[in-house]
Amino acid sequence: MLCVLKPLYKATNDLCSSLFPTAASIIFYLHYVIETLRDLQQNNLNLKVRTFASKVNIGITKHFPLFKDNTTLLFCMVVDPRLKASFLNEH
């Protein structure tokens, strides 16, 4: 079960420990968490882990349904040189 919570912990810890968290980080970390949980849903052999990852993923996507379509956040990401290449290469 810890493998499901680990991406949430990492995102929370990184954002909270940053001296200057940016709006661009929101898309980056949400994408990271959702993709990690999706990978656990598809590839983990433990049924409880897959079920828990699915429920957490559903909760996150309900809270942030259109984060990839938010033009303000996308603009912030495009102008942030640390993040734009990693996200734009996927799309």
Which contacts (CB < 8 Å, 24+ apart) does range 5-13 have? Answer: 6/36, 7/32, 7/33, 7/36, 7/37, 8/33, 8/56
26 pLDDT above the threshold of 70? yes
pTM, 2 dp: 0.75
**Contacts for 40 with CB less than 8 Å, ≥ 6 apart:** 3, 4, 49, 50, 53
69-89 confidence digits (pLDDT tens): 778 877 777 777 766 666 556
Q: What percent of the chain has pLDDT over 90?
A: 47
Contact between 59 and 50 (Cβ < 8 Å): no
pLDDT of residue 35: 94
pLDDT band of 9, cuts 50, 70, 90: very high
